[in-house]
Each structure stands twice: as structure tokens, then as C-alpha cells.
């Protein structure tokens, strides 16, 4: 296709006329499609229904060590669950605390504890004038919402296909004592689906923070969420690398089964160094008597071991792969060569990141909505919901049925073409 940039004004106007007719047709379809959140679809949820059978009224509710999972106790998780989640996270079971149903909640609590009590004996953040977090952008809106809620200043750092721009990260972390953390989704990042390169992980592990209580918030949300079995990304395990380079306490690593079994009814976990664990357990013992061990046991019995979990993830991939491929195919078909946007092609995770021409994202999302297709709010992938380029849009292909998804993506790319063509005309107007 001919690049829109090379089209004359007349060509562009004619193009818009054609596209708008097509758009009206979509509007007449009364669509109600949603590509806004990374929600598993019904077929994916059905994959885990066996979870409901492994603990019946006849079931043995005891752990291997004799613990009755039904009663109080066991602050940081039953052993067999630590074993399973350890294999999932690539960490030793004794580096892990098993939590409730939400890793977001664990991240929130981790920031909250740092606010009120500080990290490993350091000044509570609420007593400091200013606390800053580095935020690779585009990134995950719920991460940014936590730091915003606690009044933590968020500093955007550009993402690249190999991870955050490490020169900027290194400089800020090593020179500014107010920088206390960085949000990372290291594997199949939200929203691009990028995975950090070996060099990026090595440089993270070798950070020399000015602040003793600087921590990397390593949200390994998509650690085993591959779309392809053989062509999958593999990261250097960050805790081990930190330990090897003499930086053992640098990382809090988070994960959950939310997109493995049932979102909201799974188990979450934190992996970190013994020093950090001790610090955290002293608070956790005040906060709760323990998390849901019956659900931990249920997950262990359902999967058996990590191989069971990996086989289960293949089934998710069978459902998700055609959806990702459909979105990519339609975007390719409708937008390639037009020079009005670019998008990522992840090997895993839950999102595709779309970069529109600067100044177009909000209009695109609004116009898609007017035809019944809901996208993630433009700006959501930036701290404070403000994308300075008004360019990034997160596409979440998982939830809609395949045919709906195709329709939604056709409409989306149509809208991208309309808004971009108008923007080019507009820009030429202004340049005159």
C-alpha cells in the first residue's frame, strides 16, 4: 500500500471518504466488543474446571508434613505449594512466600509497608520529603496507580525491545537517593510483550543504587505464558544473578496463577532474598494468621508438578495464539506500508502494543468506542494516565471470541487509518 505520508491532500481526502463509509457500516452493526483488559476468555476458564474436583468432601486435606490445610496457621504457604510455585518462578521454595489471590495486592502491600515501616531498617518512605519510582513506558496502569496513590513521583524511562533504557536507569538509580524503586514486567512486558535481554537483566542485577532501600519490583506476571512452545523467550533468573554479583537483596519478584487457573481465585507469590523475607515476615505475622491453604492444596493437587502446569499452559496457548495471530494479520493487512503506526509481535503474555502517530491515540480510542469497540484508555500505559505523545494504545486480544476479535481489529485499524489521514492533513495545514 502507498504510504499516507506520500499521498496528496486530495488522495487522503478521497481515502477518508471511502473509510468513513465503511465506518458507518460498522456503526450500524451495533457492536459491543472489548479489547481493553487482559482477561482470559471463557474457553480458557473452562480449562481449569478440574480444579473444582480435586478436593471433594472425601479428600485428604492434609499436607505431606501433616498440616491440616483447613485450620489456622502456616504464615508463608504450605511446602508443596512453595515447591510448585518455586518451579514456576525458577526460585528456591525457601525464597518464596505464598500469598492470597492477587499479586497486585502483594505489590500494593509491599509499597505500603515501605511507606509505613521502611525496608530493612531504613527510614519509612512516609517520613521522607520525596520518593521516586522509575516507570518504564509504556507500562502497566495498575502499577502506576499504586505509586500514584502513595504520592510517589513517577519518572518515565523509555522501553526498548530489550528492556528499559539501562543507561538512564543506571544513572538515575546510582545518583539519586530519592529513587527507591522501578516497576518491571521483565517477560512479555505489559503492553509490548518485550522480554528483557540477557544484558538488561545482568545490568539490573549490577545496579549500584544510591539508596540502600532501592528495590526492583520485578513483576514476572507472564513467566510461563508463552504462545509458542519452542519459540519462547527465556530470561536470566534475576534473584540468582543478583546473588551471584553480591547484590542479593535488590529484588522483589512477584508472580501469580491468575492467568493460569482462575483470575481472582488463584494464588500469588513473592520471591526474594532471606534478608528481605525476614523483613517481610515480621510484618506479615501482624497482618494475617495465614493465607488460603485449601486453595494452595487445590492448586498443587490439580497440577501435580510444574510439568502439569506447563502442559496446562499449552492449552492456554492453543486458545490465545490464533487470537494474537489474527490481530497481527489484520493489522498487517490493513496498515502495513501506510507509515501511520507500528505494533509489537509478542511471543507470549497478554498484550500487543500499538503506537499510533503522535497526537492520535485518544481520538482513535474514542472513535473506536463510538462504533462499539472498547480499547484500553489512551494514556493508561503512562504514569498519571498521561502519554505525552498521545500515541500508545494497548490491545488485549484474549477476551473476545475469535470472530469478534477479528471484527474489532478490522474496525480498529479502519479507525487508525481515518484518524491518521486526518492528522496528516491537519499537520500539513498547520505547517503552511
- What is the Cα–Cα distance from 253 to 78, expressed in whole angstroms? 19
- Contact between 25 and a second copy by CB under 8 A: the answer reads no
Question: C-alpha distances in angstroms, 414 versus 279, 420, 422?
Answer: 53, 10, 13
Residue 45 in the binding site for a second copy (CB under 8 A): yes
| Rg of the chain (C-alpha set) | 23
**Window 119-178: residues binding a second copy (CB under 8 A):** 124, 126-127, 142, 145-146, 149-150
Cβ-based neighbour number of residue 359 at 10 Å: 15
Residues 6+ apart with CB under 8 A from 375: 35, 36, 364, 365, 368, 369, 393, 394, 395, 412
The least CB distance from residue 146 to a second copy, in Å, is: 6
169: enclosing H helix or E strand: helix 166-175
Residues in the chain, total: 432
- Cα 151 to the center of its chain, rounded Å: 22
When binding is defined by CB under 8 A, the residue of 32, 70, 307, 314 that contacts a second copy is: 70
Site residues (CB under 8 A) for a second copy, limited to 301-360:
none
Nearer to a second copy, 256 or 273 (CB): 256
Kindly state whether residue 101 participates in binding a second copy, applying the rule CB under 8 A: yes
Does 56 engage in binding with a second copy (CB under 8 A)? yes
Residue 42's φ and ψ, nearest 5 degrees, are -55, -45
Peptide bond into 432 cis (omega under 30): no
Least distance between a second copy and beta carbon 159 (Å): 23
The answer to whether residue 292 forms part of the interface with a second copy (CB under 8 A) is yes
52/167 with CB nearer a second copy: 52
Q: Kindly state whether residue 295 participates in binding a second copy, applying the rule CB under 8 A.
A: yes
CB of 123 to a second copy, least distance (A): 12
Q: Which three cell numbers stand for residue 272?
A: 526474594
DSSP strands (E only) in 67-122: 96-98
- Residue 20 or 289: which CB sits closer to a second copy? 289
If the CB atoms of residues 37 and 202 are measured against a second copy, the closer one turns out to be 37
Does 53 engage in binding with a second copy (CB under 8 A)?
Answer: yes
- CA 207 distance to own-chain centroid: 23
Q: Which residue among 35, 63, 69, 408 contacts a second copy (CB under 8 A)? A: 69
Residue number with CB closer to a second copy (59 or 310)? 59
The residues, ordered by sequence, that sit 6+ positions from 387 with a Cβ below 8 Å of its Cβ are 137, 138, 361, 378, 379, 381
Restricted to residues 272-291, the positions that interact with a second copy (CB under 8 A) are 283, 286-291
Alpha-carbon distance of 404 to 32, in angstroms, equals 9
297 or 371: CB nearest a second copy: 297
Number of residues that bind a second copy (CB under 8 A): 56
Q: Which is nearer to a second copy, 113 or 253 (CB)?
A: 113
Q: How far apart are CA 420 and CA 416, in angstroms?
A: 6
Pairing of strands 33-35, 373-375: parallel
Binding site for a second copy (CB under 8 A): 37, 39-40, 42, 45, 48-50, 52-53, 55-57, 59, 61, 68-73, 100-102, 104-105, 108-109, 112, 115-117, 124, 126-127, 142, 145-146, 149-150, 258, 262-265, 283, 286-295
Amino acid at each position: 500500500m502507498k504510504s499516507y505520508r506520500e499521498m496528496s491532500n486530495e488522495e487522503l481526502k478521497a481515502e477518508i471518504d471511502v473509510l468513513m463509509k465503511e465506518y458507518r457500516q460498522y456503526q450500524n452493526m451495533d457492536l459491543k466488543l472489548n479489547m481493553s483488559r487482559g482477561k482470559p476468555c471463557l474457553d480458557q476458564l473452562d480449562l481449569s474446571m478440574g480444579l473444582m474436583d480435586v478436593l471433594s468432601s472425601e479428600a485428604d486435606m492434609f499436607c505431606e508434613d501433616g498440616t491440616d490445610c483447613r485450620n489456622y496457621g502456616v504464615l508463608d504457604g504450605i511446602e508443596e505449594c512453595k515447591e510448585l510455585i518455586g518451579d514456576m518462578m525458577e526460585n528456591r521454595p525457601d525464597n518464596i512466600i505464598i500469598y492470597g489471590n492477587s499479586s497486585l495486592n502483594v505489590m500494593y502491600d509491599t509499597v505500603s509497608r515501605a511507606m509505613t515501616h521502611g525496608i530493612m531498617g531504613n527510614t519509612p518512605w512516609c517520613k521522607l520529603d520525596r520518593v521516586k519510582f522509575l516507570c518504564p513506558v509504556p507500562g502497566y496502569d495498575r502499577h502506576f496507580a499504586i505509586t500514584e496513590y502513595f504520592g510517589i513521583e513517577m519518572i518515565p524511562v523509555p522501553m526498548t525491545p530489550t528492556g528499559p533504557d539501562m543507561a538512564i536507569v543506571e544513572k538515575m538509580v546510582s545518583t539519586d537517593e530519592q529513587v527507591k524503586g522501578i516497576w518491571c514486567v521483565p517477560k512479555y512486558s505489559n503492553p509490548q510483550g518485550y522480554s528483557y535481554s540477557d544484558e538488561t537483566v545482568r545490568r539490573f542485577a549490577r545496579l549500584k543504587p544510591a539508596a540502600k532501600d532501592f528495590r526492583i519490583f520485578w513483576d514476572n506476571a507472564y513467566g510461563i505464558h508463552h504462545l509458542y512452545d519452542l519459540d519462547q523467550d527465556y530470561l536470566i533468573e534475576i534473584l540468582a544473578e543478583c546473588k551471584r554479583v553480591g547484590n542479593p537483596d535488590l529484588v522483589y519478584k512477584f508472580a501469580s496463577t491468575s492467568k493460569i487457573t482462575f483470575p481472582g481465585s488463584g494464588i500469588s507469590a513473592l520471591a526474594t532474598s532471606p534478608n528481605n523475607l525476614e523483613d517481610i515476615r515480621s510484618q506479615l505475622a501482624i497482618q494475617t494468621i495465614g493465607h488460603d491453604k485449601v486453595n494452595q492444596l487445590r492448586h498443587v493437587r490439580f497440577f501435580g508438578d510444574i510439568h502439569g502446569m506447563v502442559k496446562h499452559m499449552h492449552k492456554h496457548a492453543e486458545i490465545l495464539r490464533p487470537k494474537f495471530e489474527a490481530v497481527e494479520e489484520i493489522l498487517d493487512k490493513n496498515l502495513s506500508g501506510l507509515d501511520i503506526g507500528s505494533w509489537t509481535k509478542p511471543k507470549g503474555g497478554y498484550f500487543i502494543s500499538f503506537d499510533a502517530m503522535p497526537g492520535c491515540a485518544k481520538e482513535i480510542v474514542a472513535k473506536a468506542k463510538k462504533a462499539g469497540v472498547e480499547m484500553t484508555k489512551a494514556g493508561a500505559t503512562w504514569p498519571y494516565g498521561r502519554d505525552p505523545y498521545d500515541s500508545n494504545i494497548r490491545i488485549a486480544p484474549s477476551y473476545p471470541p475469535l470472530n469478534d476479535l477479528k471484527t474489532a481489529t478490522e474496525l480498529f485499524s479502519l479507525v487508525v487509518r481515518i484518524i491518521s489521514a486526518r492528522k496528516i492533513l491537519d499537520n500539513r495545514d498547520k505547517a503552511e
